[in-house]
Amino acid sequence: MRRKWFRSSLVALMLTVGLLIISNAPTAAQVTLNILSPRGEIFAPPIKAISARLSSLEGKKIGILNNSKAGANALQPYLEEALKQAIPKIELRTWGIPFNVYPDKEKDLKALADWSDAVIGILGD
């Protein structure tokens, strides 16, 4: 019986001491958490309508955009020959604009777009 009394007294003492410690402990400051989405934000460029398809290539100025890779360089003369045979009054002009960054890329792409009625892109990958 003494053991039971001792255990229950010990438990009561421990609870009392624990409550005193907790009640005298400094309280935590207000915490604000910012929750972020792992998806991020996607900024889409403005949508532009696709140009209407040309009814004919006869008499049109066709720009050829060559990305300067080996496959494109090998295909270009065959493409030009086939177009000239099929459409005798077609005017062709080629721009060699590498896919990677180079100093005059924007200027050359604008010149290609300004000169051409339509553009054929040759990607030599």
Where are the domains positioned within the chain?
A: 61-122
**pLDDT tens-digit map of 114-123:** 999 999 999 8
Q: What CATH number was assigned to the domain covering residues 61-122?
A: 3.40.50
> 64 and 120 in contact (C-beta within 8 Å)?
yes
pLDDT mean over 51-70 = 91
CA distance 39 to 124: 35
CA distance 9 to 31: 39
CA distance 13 to 7: 10
Quick one: pLDDT at residue 120? Answer: 92
Q: Is residue 80 scored above 90 in pLDDT?
A: yes
Quick one: pLDDT at residue 4? Answer: 62
Instruction: Measure the CA angle with vertex 105, ends 103 and 106; round to 5°.
Output: 110
Residue for token pair 């991020």 = 40
For the question of whether the overall pTM of this predicted structure is more than 0.95, the answer is no
pLDDT mean over 84-102 = 89
Quick one: pLDDT at residue 84? Answer: 95
Mean per-residue pLDDT over the chain, rounded: 83
